Structure 1
Amino acid sequence: MKYLAALLFALSLPVSAQEFIASNGPLTDDDFYNTVACGARPGGECQGPYVRWVPPNGDAITVAFQPVPITFPAGLERALSQSLDRAIQQLNNVTGAIELRRTYKSGSADIAIYLQSIVAGDDITGIGVPELEGVEIGAAIVQVWWNGNLEITEAVIVFASDIPLDEADSIMLEELTQGLGLLTDIRNPFYDDRSIFSEDSNSVRKLGPQDRMAIARHYANAN
């Protein structure tokens, strides 16, 4: 049995409260972690479960682009491909307990990445994922499934075709990080230039100190 997580937008759009949590000023490590990992408001209760990948026998979590429409901008496709490699390297340097690995076998990847010839505000259609059919996209959307043990079993990331090239690294890193189970953004001006989880900014290209803390904490007991 699969459980559906929230759909997450890389840019600010009218979405449900579970998509981001608003706060002000610097958060404690506990509040930051609980915000991004279980949707808790600072000092509050979790609004969702903690979910994470638990690969059998320490296997790598595979990531692959799905076949790309010929109408998708070639320059953006190249930029996102390079961004994926950089994002995997950053995340592998942090988690310790799990490993991400890019594969070119699209059909068997744990995390499937779709590049679609649509722009922000369009509906997703025709990628073969029923839960995303007709869903409006921002810059990108993440969807995650998990089992009854709260172990992530698969994830899908969809990117629109109008992402600015200079935001490709930030958006890819954010979406891939959220695909690890850290599903909630932070709306807080303090984090606009400090965290990949910023709801209102796509300027951060490298994991911030609290980003790294949250990922490491989330996977401290993965194996």
Structure 2
Amino acid sequence: MALTVGIVQRDAPFLGGKIKRADAAVVRAVQHLNAVNMGITLRHSTDNPDIAIYLLDTARGEKITAKQANPLNGFTLANAITALDIDGGLINGASIGLSRTMSIRQYESVMLEEITQALGLITDISNPYYRSRSILSQNADNSLKVLGTQDKIALIRHYPPN
């Protein structure tokens, strides 16, 4: 099974170098996740992707109020947020929002974390032990840029290889 992931909205604060860095972070996240050899494959596409990424002109701590229709409207934004469109046990799609106030050096880590969460591993891990061991660690400073061993195992169990 193949899923698409891509940036669908680029607000003004992300123009220039920030958009290039965000695009590169999506490509690297897709590469890292595809290397897990789970039962799904991700493909980078901006044409109505299954996992839609919104680069928002919203500061950390503000409510998302996008001008165009956006499934994240009304949510309060931290550095980033992921919301799933779920029907029973099936994920129909996912939306990821990134804040304009997030540091550019965090893009790669945050993008990998949020896309991983969009695959169904939605819960952050709040335990200092995982700071250097999991992309899902809430205690990390967004400097981890690879999946941890447990992240990979969880993805494989969630999406067993065919």
TM-score, normalisation: structure 2: 0.91
Max Rg structure = 1
> 1:181 matched to which residue of 2?
120
Does the alignment pair 1:155 with 2:98?
no
Residues 95 and 183 (structure 1), Cα distance of their counterparts in 2 relative to 1, 3 Å cut = farther
Q: CA deviation at 1:164?
A: 1.3
Secondary structure at 2:150 match in 1: helix
Q: CA deviation at 1:168?
A: 1.0
Distance 1:100 1:184 in 2: 21
> 1:128 matched to which residue of 2?
69
Q: CA deviation at 1:73?
A: 4.6
Checking the alignment, whether the CA contact within 8 Å between 1:95 and 1:219 is kept in structure 2 is no
Distance 1:81 1:87 in 2: 10
Pick from 107, 128, 137 the counterpart of residue 168 of structure 1.
107
Mapping of residues 13-162 of structure 1, within 5 Å: 58=1, 60-105=2-47, 108-126=48-66, 127-129=68-70, 132-148=72-88, 150-162=89-101
Where structure 2 has 5 or more consecutive residues not aligned to the other structure, the ranges are none
Secondary structure at 1:66 match in 2: strand
What CA RMSD, in Å, does the superposition of the two structures yield over aligned residues? 1.6
Secondary structure at 2:14 match in 1: coil
Distance 2:37 2:159 in 1: 6
> 1:41 matched to which residue of 2?
none
Distance 1:198 1:112 in 2: 23
AA aligned to 1:129 is N
TM-score, normalisation: structure 1: 0.68
Distance 2:91 2:51 in 1: 10
Checking the alignment, whether the CA contact within 8 Å between 2:52 and 2:96 is kept in structure 1 is yes
Distance 2:40 2:123 in 1: 21
AA aligned to 1:168 is Y
Q: CA deviation at 1:91?
A: 0.5
AA aligned to 1:218 is H
> 1:191 matched to which residue of 2?
130
Checking the alignment, whether the CA contact within 8 Å between 1:186 and 1:198 is kept in structure 2 is yes
Q: Is 212-221 or 177-186 further displaced after alignment?
A: 212-221
> 1:219 matched to which residue of 2?
159
> 2:139 matched to which residue of 1?
200
Checking the alignment, whether the CA contact within 8 Å between 1:68 and 1:116 is kept in structure 2 is yes
Secondary structure at 1:86 match in 2: helix
Checking the alignment, whether the CA contact within 8 Å between 2:6 and 2:26 is kept in structure 1 is no
Tell me the percent identity.
Answer: 39
Stretches (4+) displaced over 6 A: none
Q: How many residues align?
A: 160
Checking the alignment, whether the CA contact within 8 Å between 1:192 and 1:203 is kept in structure 2 is no
Distance 1:209 1:158 in 2: 26
Distance 1:176 1:67 in 2: 16
AA aligned to 1:67 is Q
